[in-house]
Structure 1
Amino acid sequence: MSEFGSFVELVQSIYGTKDFIPLHEPRFDEKEKLYLEQTIDSTFVSSVGEFVDKFEAAITNYCGAGKAAAVVNGTAALQVALRVAGVDRESEVITQALTFVATANAINYNGATPVFVDVDYDTMGLSPQALMDFLNEFGELRDTGTYNKSTGKRIAAIVPMHTFGFMCRIDAIVEIANEWNIPVVEDAAESLGSFFKGQHSGTFGLMGAFSFNGNKIITSGGGGAIISSDPQFASKVKYLTNTAKVPHQWEYYHDELGYNYRMPNLNASLAYAQLEKLDSFIKSKKEVFAAYKDGLELDEVKLKEIPADTSWNYWLIPLEFDSREGRDNFLTYTNSNGVMTRPIWRLMFELPMYKGCQRDEQVNAYKLSERIVNIPSSTNC
C-alpha cells in the first residue's frame, strides 16, 4: 500500500464509507424541503418573496451587519460591491494573487485592473506588511484619492480574501487603507461563520461579499450576498441588482445601468434553511478537523494551523506539504482511490488574462501555491 493509503483509510473511517468521498457536499433535510414546498405553494418563486426578505434579515443579524442584499452568486456580489465602492474603468484594485479567479474577474468586470500583493503564510490572505510596502513604494495620496505612481491610475479599492474561511489580518489592512483613503471590500465568499477578534468576516470593510455555491458551508444552489455596516451602501447594492428600477407601484423606470442579479425566492428558501443550521454545521466540521488532527500520520505533511485571533468556520481543511512533488503524489493517489482532494489555486498572474498585472515578489504566495491541498471537509452529521 502507498504511504498515502493510511490517509484514504482515515477519510473513509471519518465518513463511514468506501464509496467516492467528495471534497465538500451540501447537507439537506426536511427543513429545506418544507421551505421549498412553501415557496412553490406561494407561487412567488422568482426574485420577490417571503424567503428573500427572511434570508436578508437573518444573515444581517448573524453577521452583525447593518443590511444585506441577496444576489445570484458571489462573483456578482463582489462585482456590484466594488462598483458601489467607486471602482470604475481605468482604476486599479489591490488584491491577492492566491485566490479563486472570481476575485480578479469581479474587478475586471468593472473595467478595473487588479494589482497583486503577497499574502501572509499563516493566514494565506492579504498581508498587511506587503500592502504597506507596496503603498509606500508606489502610492501617492492626493485630494482625489491614492494613485499608483508607476501607472498613474487611481487605486479605487483593496480586496482581501479570507482563504478557506481563515481570516486575514483584516483590522491591520483596514487601518492601512484608511491612512491611504482607499475603501476595503472583503471577499468573504468562503468565510461565513468565521470571526476575527470576535467580529464576523465581511463587517470590517465598507462591504463584504459572500457566496452560497453548492460547495460552500451553506448553499442555496447558486447565490450570494452583500453586507454592509452602513445601510446606505447595502441599499445602493439592492437597487443596482434590481435592474436599477426606481420603486413605484406599477411604473417601470430605470435611471442608471443596473443588473438583474436578484436571488430567486426558491434559492432564498434553501439559503434560509441552511443558515438556521450553520452553527451545527460548524460544530460537525470542527469534529472532522479534530479527527484529522488525531489520525493524520504522514511524514512531511501537516494540517494548516488555525491563525491567531480567528474563530474558523472549518469550510475547507488544508494540508501543507514540504514539497511540490509530495503534493502531486498525494493528489494522484487520493483522487485515484476514491477520495477527492484539490490543490490550492494557480496564482492569478499565471493565468493569461492577468499575466501583465503589476505584482510584488509574491514570496509566500509562490510557496503556498506549491504546497497546499484541500481534503474532504463536508459535515459529518
Structure 2
Amino acid sequence: MQNIIEFIQKTFKSNKFIPLHEPRFIGNEKEYLNKCIDSTFVSSVGEYVDKFEEEFAKKVGSKYAIATVNGTSALHISLLLANVTENDEVITQALTFIATCNAISYIKSKPIFVDVDKDTMGMSPDSLKNFLEKNCEIKDSKCINKSTKKIIKACVPMHTFGHSCRIDEIKSICDEWKISLVEDAAESLGSFYKKQHTGTFGDLGAFSFNGNKIITSGGGGVIVTDDEKLARRAKYLTTTAKVPHPFEYIHDEIGFNYRMPNLNAALLVAQLENLDFFIKRKKELANKYKEFFKDNNDVNFVEEPKNSNSNYWLQAVLLKDSSNRDGFLEFMNKNGVMTRPIWKLMNELEMFKDSQSSTLENSKYLEQHIVNIPSSVIL
C-alpha cells in the first residue's frame, strides 16, 4: 500500500494531508461575490440566482432550472411535484447517500429498495423490473404494491459517483408501470448517458452543490425539468408558497424556505464557467489512476460504464479481497491520504430496516469492496 500512497502524493504534489475532494476557486468567484455584496441583494432575490438558473439549464439541456438551498431540498420538492404523499411508496436503491431516503421520509412516504448493477453502481433496470413484475399490478392507471396495497408513485435512481445508471431502460420501465421518474443527479453534473445529460431523462432531476461536489457554493441545489407547470410550482413552493402581491403577505398552502441565496448563486455562476475544465482534469486524473492500477492484482480502478461519459466526481477502486478494506482505509488515512468506504446500505439503517426490498446481492458486494480515493481537480 505504500506505493499507492507515494503515487498519490506525487500526483497531487503534496506530502501533507490529501483530502478526498476539495473545492477549487480559480475564476470569477471573488469578483461576482463582491458585486453581489455591493448590490446589497444577498438573499433569495438577485440577478445571480436568475443567471445561474438560466446558465445551468443551458448546460444540462433542460428547459427549466430552479435553484434551491441544497440537493436534499431539491429532491424533496421534486418528490412533492411528482405527487408523492405520506400514503405512497417510492422505489430507490439501497446503495445511496442518506439524502435520497431523507427526502422520501420528509413526505412520510415509504422507500422500497432494489439492487444496483456492479458496473454502474446505480439502480439495476433488471432488479427494478423483476420487483415490479413479482410484487405489483396496474389498477386504474396506478402502480399498486400487492403486499401493502399502497401506490408506488415514484422511482428515484441515483447516478453514483458521477457514473450514469442505465437510465433509459429505467425510464421505459417507469413509463410502463405508471411511475414518475425523479433522478437523483446530485453527483453527476457534467455526466452524460448516450449523449444526454443525467438528470434530464426523468420528469424531474435534482443536483447538489455541497462543498465536496464538482462545483460548489458551500451548499446549494437545483431542480431541472422540461415541464413549465412543474417549474412554476417548484419556484412557488421553494419561496414559501407566497401569492404574488406588491405588499401583502398571502400564502395559500404550506411552502418551504428553500430558495437559493444570491450569494451562493454568485459563486455558482463563476464555478459553472470552469466546469468543463474541472471535468477535463478529473478525466486526466482517472487516466492516471487507471494506468497505475492496471497491473494490480488486488485492486481494480472503477471506470465509466458503457455508453456513459462520466464526470468522475469521486474516483473509486474495488478491492478484490473485502477483508482488506478496513486495513486499507486505516493505513491510508493514518498516512495522510483521505479515503472512505462507500455508504452503508440504507436497508441496514435503523430507520429503514423494515422497508421492503429485493435481493441486494450487488449492493452488498459493492458495500464491502468499494473505496473512494482522492479525487480533487489537479491544477
Give the TM interval when normalised to the shorter protein.
over 0.9
Which residue number in structure 2 is paired with residue 203 of structure 1?
200
| Alpha-carbon distance between aligned partners in 1 of 2:246 and 2:198, rounded to the nearest angstrom | 36
Deviations 1:205-251 (A, max 9, x none): 00000000000000011100000021221211111000011122222
| Alpha-carbon distance between aligned partners in 1 of 2:229 and 2:59, rounded to the nearest angstrom | 19
Task: Kindly report which structure 2 residues correspond to 1:19-98, keeping only aligned pairs within 5 A, or say none.
Answer: 19-98=16-95
Which residue number in structure 1 is paired with residue 357 of structure 2?
359
Which residue number in structure 2 is paired with residue 158 of structure 1?
155
Which residue number in structure 2 is paired with residue 186 of structure 1?
183
Structure 2, unaligned stretches of length 5 or more? none
| Alpha-carbon distance between aligned partners in 2 of 1:101 and 1:110, rounded to the nearest angstrom | 15
3-state SS in 2 of match to 1:184: strand
Which residue number in structure 2 is paired with residue 307 of structure 1?
305
Deviation (angstroms), 1:48: 0.4
| Alpha-carbon distance between aligned partners in 2 of 1:267 and 1:347, rounded to the nearest angstrom | 32
| Alpha-carbon distance between aligned partners in 2 of 1:232 and 1:68, rounded to the nearest angstrom | 12
Q: Specify which of 116, 120, 130 is matched with residue 123 of structure 1.
A: 120
Alignment check: 8 A CA contact 2:314 2:375 kept? yes
Q: Establish whether residue 335 from structure 1 lines up as the match of residue 295 from structure 2.
A: no
Alignment check: 8 A CA contact 2:220 2:264 kept? yes
- Name the aligned partner's letter for residue 166 of structure 1: H
Which residue number in structure 1 is paired with residue 111 of structure 2?
114
3-state SS in 2 of match to 1:8: helix
Deviation (angstroms), 1:305: 2.5
3-state SS in 1 of match to 2:28: helix
- Name the aligned partner's letter for residue 341 of structure 2: P
Deviation (angstroms), 1:30: 4.8
Alignment check: 8 A CA contact 2:27 2:274 kept? no
| Alpha-carbon distance between aligned partners in 1 of 2:348 and 2:251, rounded to the nearest angstrom | 40
Q: Specify which of 348, 351, 373 is matched with residue 350 of structure 1.
A: 348
3-state SS in 1 of match to 2:34: helix
| Alpha-carbon distance between aligned partners in 2 of 1:255 and 1:144, rounded to the nearest angstrom | 30
3-state SS in 1 of match to 2:51: helix
| Alpha-carbon distance between aligned partners in 2 of 1:282 and 1:252, rounded to the nearest angstrom | 44
- Name the aligned partner's letter for residue 299 of structure 1: N
Which residue number in structure 1 is paired with residue 267 of structure 2?
270
Structure 1 residues 296-305 or 52-61, which shifts more?
296-305
Which residue number in structure 1 is paired with residue 252 of structure 2?
255
3-state SS in 2 of match to 1:130: helix
Which residue number in structure 2 is paired with residue 140 of structure 1?
137
Alignment check: 8 A CA contact 2:141 2:178 kept? no
- Name the aligned partner's letter for residue 134 of structure 1: F
| Alpha-carbon distance between aligned partners in 1 of 2:226 and 2:253, rounded to the nearest angstrom | 24
Name the count of aligned residue pairs.
378
3-state SS in 2 of match to 1:28: coil
| Alpha-carbon distance between aligned partners in 2 of 1:103 and 1:65, rounded to the nearest angstrom | 22
- Name the aligned partner's letter for residue 263 of structure 2: L
| Alpha-carbon distance between aligned partners in 1 of 2:109 and 2:137, rounded to the nearest angstrom | 18
Q: Specify which of 230, 235, 239 is matched with residue 236 of structure 2.
A: 239
| Alpha-carbon distance between aligned partners in 2 of 1:64 and 1:246, rounded to the nearest angstrom | 30
Deviation (angstroms), 1:271: 0.8
Calculate the TM-score normalised by the size of structure 1: 0.98
Deviation (angstroms), 1:28: 0.6
Which residue number in structure 2 is paired with residue 214 of structure 1?
211
Structure 1 residues 138-147 or 168-177, which shifts more?
138-147
Deviations 1:143-181 (A, max 9, x none): 151110010110010000000000000000000000011
Percent of matched pairs sharing the same residue: 56
3-state SS in 1 of match to 2:103: helix
Which residue number in structure 2 is paired with residue 149 of structure 1?
146
| Alpha-carbon distance between aligned partners in 2 of 1:245 and 1:318, rounded to the nearest angstrom | 44
| Alpha-carbon distance between aligned partners in 1 of 2:146 and 2:91, rounded to the nearest angstrom | 14
| Alpha-carbon distance between aligned partners in 1 of 2:108 and 2:289, rounded to the nearest angstrom | 43
**Which of structure 1's runs of 4+ aligned residues deviate more than 4 A?**
none
Deviation (angstroms), 1:29: 2.7
| Alpha-carbon distance between aligned partners in 1 of 2:139 and 2:88, rounded to the nearest angstrom | 15
- Name the aligned partner's letter for residue 44 of structure 1: F
Deviation (angstroms), 1:292: 1.2
| Alpha-carbon distance between aligned partners in 2 of 1:145 and 1:240, rounded to the nearest angstrom | 25
Deviations 1:185-209 (A, max 9, x none): 0000000000000000110000000
Alignment check: 8 A CA contact 2:27 2:270 kept? no
3-state SS in 2 of match to 1:250: coil
Q: Specify which of 171, 190, 207 is matched with residue 174 of structure 1.
A: 171
| Alpha-carbon distance between aligned partners in 2 of 1:273 and 1:238, rounded to the nearest angstrom | 23
3-state SS in 2 of match to 1:141: strand
| Alpha-carbon distance between aligned partners in 1 of 2:191 and 2:13, rounded to the nearest angstrom | 27
| Alpha-carbon distance between aligned partners in 1 of 2:270 and 2:286, rounded to the nearest angstrom | 24
Which residue number in structure 2 is paired with residue 321 of structure 1?
319
What is the RMSD of the two structures over their aligned residues, measured on CA atoms?
0.9
